[in-house]
Amino acid sequence: MAWSGVTEEELKEKGTIHTEFGEDLSWQYLDYVRTHPLKWEVPTRVLYGQKDNLTSLETMQEFIDAHNAELTVMEDGEHWFHTEEQMRFLDEWIKNNS
């Protein structure tokens, strides 16, 4: 919401707001998430791209801490791993964590 300059009040009033990055913001979804908190009870490992422009490292770290998960950060990685280097890193990460 902050990335798109949308306030919570605007979203509640409009219901759905289309963004420039192709994802709709939805009041119904936000309300659902808030009223149905996550209960995460499975061992989890997360691969995070250092240059992720959708999820902050702070947000990811909060998830890791709250759910006793393991975090690996790929330097120069992005939210969507797609370059040859990123895909090689992902392949190795999967092999080493299976």
Q: Please report, as a single letter, which amino acid is at residue 40.
A: W
Q: Which parts of the chain sit beneath pLDDT 70?
A: none
Report which secondary-structure segment, H or E, holds 87.
helix 84-96
Write down the domain spans for the chain: 1-37, 45-96
pLDDT (0 to 100) of residue 67: 92
CA distance 98 to 95: 6
DSSP 8-state symbol, 2:
T
Question: According to the model, what pLDDT value does residue 1 have?
Answer: 75
Tens of pLDDT, residues 45-69: 999 999 998 899 999 999 999 999 9
